[in-house]
Amino acid sequence: MAVSDRPHMPSLGGATGWLNSEPLGPAELGGRVVLVNFWTLTCINWLRQEPYVRSWSQAYRDDGLVVIGVHTPEFSFEHDVDWVRRAVAARSIDYPVAVDNDYAIWSAFDNHYWPALYFVDADGVIRDDHFGEGRYEQSERVLQQLLGIEREPVPVEGLGPEAAADWDNLRTPETYLGFSRGEHFASPNGAALDERRVYELPESLVLNQWALAGEWTIGPENVVLDRPGGSIAFRFHARDAHLVLSPGARQPIPFRVLLDGEAPGASHGVDVDEDGNGVLQDGRLYQLVRQHDAVRERSLQISFGEPGAEAYAFTFG
């Protein structure tokens, strides 16, 4: 496709707010190479991509690159700008972030993915795009070409949930818990939609099944604990196990994670100690498990000490 046939970068005027910057438009971006990154704070794929975007912003800003994050929320609680602001601070993001709560920028780009990268030249023309993780060296080369420079790629190492997935041992898919997209639910008395019900764990779970114990309400996008002591169990095969959680109106909410019925020990994630203890304070993705030895099929159970915990989706790496 000739450059003249490529689309120009759409307006960012639909943003409902900005972090780290005043609103940016053609006057501020004219003559600059721009990388637009669509993200949502609970997305594990974005978290694993983010150290690259962050490193490119820092390495090439003096060469004329402007990175703009566009936060378009997936779950309803992600509309809260305070959660977005905390995610920006936690990830040390210092480039401008447009808050896209109304999906106006998402729609203007006709975007469909988290994460998504759009590479814009100094004339405002979108010269390339990439959806999802990976292709990092090629993406950096695109930026260098647009900037008219050539150098070795920036060294990047992701830590915690930002670390690259162990793809060879990843056999459990992302699993949503709300009834609009939920699947593989295995509590023996079935699911009641939008009403409080006491659930029980089955005698056993097969790989990629999950179940509830205690009194929960299963809503369109999450499950919400109605009484203290409820738990969620999941049978998975992956190095890492994560759960998207929000405290709702209550915080903090203590929780405990068990692996195969025992404290996780050295297999605890960054949000859990060796005894399996953690605290739900922010709406975000929590890393519950990271296995360091041979990855194998495990049973995870997370229990909450207080009602109000909202659980949205398990992701794995």
**Per-residue 3-state assignment (H helix, E strand, C coil) for 205-251:** CCCCCEEEEEEEEECCCCEEECCCCCEEEEEEECCEEEEEEECCCCC
pLDDT score of 293 more than 90: no
Tell me whether residue 58 is exposed, middle or buried, using C-beta atoms within 10 angstroms of its C-beta: 0 to 12, 13 to 18, 19 or more.
Answer: middle
Mean pLDDT of the 79-93 span:
97
Question: Is 45:132 a contact under the CB 8 Å cutoff?
Answer: yes
Structure tokens given for 180: 């609009």
pTM, whole model, 2 decimals? 0.94
- Cα angle 28, 136, 99 (rounded to 5 degrees) comes to 40
Torsion over CA of 157, 100, 42 and 165, rounded to 10 degrees? -40
Q: Which CATH number fits domain 3-162: 3.40.190.10, 2.70.98.50, 3.30.1490.110, 3.40.30.10?
A: 3.40.30.10
Question: Is 96:69 a contact under the CB 8 Å cutoff?
Answer: yes
DSSP reduced 3-state for 244: strand
Domains of the chain: which residue ranges?
3-162, 167-316
pLDDT score of 43 more than 80: yes
Q: What is the pLDDT of residues 200-234, one digit of tens each?
A: 999 999 999 999 999 999 999 999 999 999 999 99
Pairing of strands 33-39, 65-71: parallel
Average pLDDT of the chain is 96
Predicted local distance difference test score (pLDDT) of residue 280: 98
Would you say the CATH fold of 167-316 matches that of 3-162?
no
For the chain, percent of residues with pLDDT exceeding 70: 98
Question: Is 150:140 a contact under the CB 8 Å cutoff?
Answer: no
Taking Cα atoms as reference points, which of 250, 249, 248, 229 lies closest to residue 301?
229
pLDDT score of 160 more than 60: yes
* Fold classified for 167-316: Jelly Rolls (2.60.120)
Residues contacting 205, CB < 8 A, separation 6+: 186, 211, 233, 234, 235, 299
Predicted local distance difference test score (pLDDT) of residue 103: 98
Q: What is the pLDDT of residues 15-40, one digit of tens each?
A: 999 999 999 998 899 999 999 999 99
